[in-house]
């Protein structure tokens, strides 16, 4: 629209302001907005009598675009210098870490919120990691990092990294983002299992490093642990959960078709008594939310209850 205004004034020559909106069929506010932009870019200017005059675009390029391009080049040069400096520092850091790892030090480091996923992916690449183990207990802040790791499963699999994860059922039930990321990870090839509860959250990268939530209320921050003995303990904690966990597919895709209508309702009934929400019940039983709600409505009507929870207790009392 601004260019239509410029073209109109260019064609008309020196033009009174009031003549342009009517000719272009523009409202006064729309025209004023375009006019302000063109004046700011110096594509238009006013003569001594206040008439609008079209300016030269190449002059605008020289006066405005030229300095911007120069500034962009300066930023690009600065970014390249900074990148070179960081690469040199990273080489220094790696040598330092390797020396101290041989002496059993440099085992713990703190990373701030928002940095975790980038550092973790970098650690996987640099350490030639082939296995990632994950316990998801839904820790505030740190749980976001765990979700990001699960969401990265497809790209990790392309690098030959195998992901195993154990998630707390209550996390998947209460956190839709966690459920979505876990499902995505499973479809991308990760082995995802579910247990009622998980003692704590962590991510283990082979015998290379482990990420655990930072203590002291630093939400979203993480601690990186590298000491071999501690890594072995954390890996043992993960492996203790693995045999007792059920696969996400079994949790999400129970063979509801093989169940009779009464069996489906009995499963719904048990979950109603526990106060589970419709989405949770549907997932656990292996039916759609719409079908789940239809069954619940039938149960409530059947016993003449005033609420779904009351229906659950009344039906349970009959059994």
- Residues 17-46 have pLDDT tens digits of 777 877 788 888 888 888 888 888 778 888
Distance CA 272, CA 309 (A): 6
Tokens of 35: 């006019």
**Is the pLDDT at 192 greater than 60, yes or no?**
yes
> What's the Cα-to-Cα distance from 230 to each of 100, 107, 209, 283, rounded to whole Å?
16, 9, 10, 37
Query: Confidence band (pLDDT; 50, 70, 90) for 254?
Result: very low
* Alpha-carbon dihedral 69, 71, 73, 74, rounded to 10 degrees: 170
Q: Which pairs count as long-range contacts for 282-287, CB under 8 Å and 24+ apart, including other chains?
A: 283/173, 283/179, 283/251, 283/252, 284/251, 284/254, 285/254, 285/256, 286/252, 286/253, 286/254, 286/255, 286/256, 287/256
Mean pLDDT value across residues 152-168: 89
Q: Give first-to-last CA distance, the chain, whole Å.
A: 73
Residue ranges of domains in the chain, CATH in brackets: 2-55 (1.10.10.10), 108-250 (3.30.870.10), 254-318 (1.10.10.10)
- Residues 120-155 have pLDDT tens digits of 777 776 667 889 999 998 756 677 878 888 888 888
**Lowest mean pLDDT, pick from 83-92, 160-169, 233-242:** 83-92
pLDDT at 271: 81
Query: Confidence band (pLDDT; 50, 70, 90) for 52?
Result: confident
- Residues 205-222 have pLDDT tens digits of 887 888 888 765 455 677
User: Taking CA 130 as the corner, what is the angle to CA 107 and CA 176, rounded to the nearest 5 degrees?
Assistant: 90
């Amino acid at each position: 629209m601004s260019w239509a205004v410029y073209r109109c004034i260019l064609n008309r020559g020196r033009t009174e302001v009031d003549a342009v909106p009517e000719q272009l069929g523009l409202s006064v506010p729309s025209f004023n907005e375009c006019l302000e932009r063109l004046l700011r870019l110096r594509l238009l200017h006013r003569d001594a009598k206040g008439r609008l005059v079209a300016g030269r675009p190449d002059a605008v390029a020289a006066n405005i675009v030229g300095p911007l391009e120069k500034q962009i080049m300066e930023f690009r040069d600065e970014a390249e210098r900074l990148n070179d400096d960081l690469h040199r520092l990273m080489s220094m850091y790696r040598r330092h870490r390797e020396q101290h790892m041989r002496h059993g030090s440099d085992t713990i480091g703190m990373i701030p919120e928002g940095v975790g996923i980038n550092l973790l992916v970098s650690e996987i690449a640099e350490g030639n990691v082939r296995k990632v183990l994950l316990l998801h207990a839904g820790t505030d802040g740190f749980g976001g990092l765990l979700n990001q790791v699960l969401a990265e499963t497809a790209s990790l699999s392309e690098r030959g990294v195998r992901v195993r994860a154990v998630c707390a059922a209550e996390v998947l039930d209460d956190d839709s983002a966690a459920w979505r990321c876990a499902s995505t990870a499973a479809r991308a090839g990760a082995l995802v299992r579910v247990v009622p509860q998980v003692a704590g959250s962590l991510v283990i990268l082979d015998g290379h490093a482990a990420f655990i939530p930072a203590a002291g209320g630093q939400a979203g921050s993480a601690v990186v642990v590298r000491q071999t003995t501690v890594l072995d303990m954390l890996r043992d904690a993960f492996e203790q959960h693995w045999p007792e966990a059920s696969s996400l597919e079994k949790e999400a895709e129970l063979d509801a078709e093989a169940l009779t209508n009464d069996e489906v309702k009995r499963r719904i009934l048990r979950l109603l008594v526990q106060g589970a929400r419709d989405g949770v019940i549907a997932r656990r039983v292996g039916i759609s939310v719409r079908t789940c709600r239809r069954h619940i409505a039938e149960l409530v009507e059947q016993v003449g209850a005033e609420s779904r929870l009351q229906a659950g207790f009344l039906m349970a009392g009959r059994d």
